[in-house]
Amino acid sequence: MAASSQADTAILSVALLNQQIEAARSELALLRGQLVQLRSDIADAPGEALRAANELLARARSDAKLVEVVATEAHGRRVSFLATVAHELRNPLMPLRLAAVMLDRARTDEAAHARLQATITGQVAQMTRLIGDLLEGSRISTGNFRLERTVIDLNAVLDRAIETSQPGMDARKHRFERSPRSGPVMVLGDAVRLVQVFGNLLENASKYTLEGGAISLRVGMRGHAVVVTITDNGIGISEKALPHVFDMFVRDQHATEVNEGGLGIGLAVVRELIKAHEGSVGATSAGKSQGSEFVVMLPVAAVSRTA
Binding site for ligand ADP (CB under 6 A): 200, 204-205, 208, 232, 234-237, 241, 245, 250-252, 255, 262-268, 292
Helix axes 46-90, 93-105, angle to 10 degrees: 10
Contact 230, 205 (CB under 8 A): yes
Helix (H, G, I), strand (E, B) or coil at 265: coil
Q: Which is nearer to ligand ADP, 72 or 259 (CB)?
A: 259
Contact 208, 235 (CB under 8 A): yes
Helix (H, G, I), strand (E, B) or coil at 103: helix
Least spacing, CB of residue 129 vs ligand ADP, in Å: 10
Q: Which is nearer to ligand ADP, 94 or 286 (CB)?
A: 286
Least spacing, CB of residue 21 vs ligand ADP, in Å: 23
Least spacing, CB of residue 284 vs ligand ADP, in Å: 11
Least spacing, CB of residue 79 vs ligand ADP, in Å: 18
Contact 206, 262 (CB under 8 A): no
Q: Which is nearer to ligand ADP, 167 or 291 (CB)?
A: 291
Q: Which is nearer to ligand ADP, 17 or 152 (CB)?
A: 17
Which amino acid appears at position 9 of this protein? T
In angstroms, what CA-CA distances link 287 with 90, 236, 241? 32, 5, 10
* Pairing of β 214-222 and β 225-232: antiparallel
Least spacing, CB of residue 163 vs ligand ADP, in Å: 19
Type and span of the H or E element at 216: strand 214-222
Q: Which is nearer to ligand ADP, 74 or 237 (CB)?
A: 237
Q: Which is nearer to ligand ADP, 186 or 296 (CB)?
A: 296
> Which DSSP category does 300 fall into?
B
Q: Sign of the CA dihedral 234, 237, 238, 239?
A: negative
Least spacing, CB of residue 50 vs ligand ADP, in Å: 52
The residue nearest ligand ADP at its CB is 266
Contact 267, 284 (CB under 8 A): no
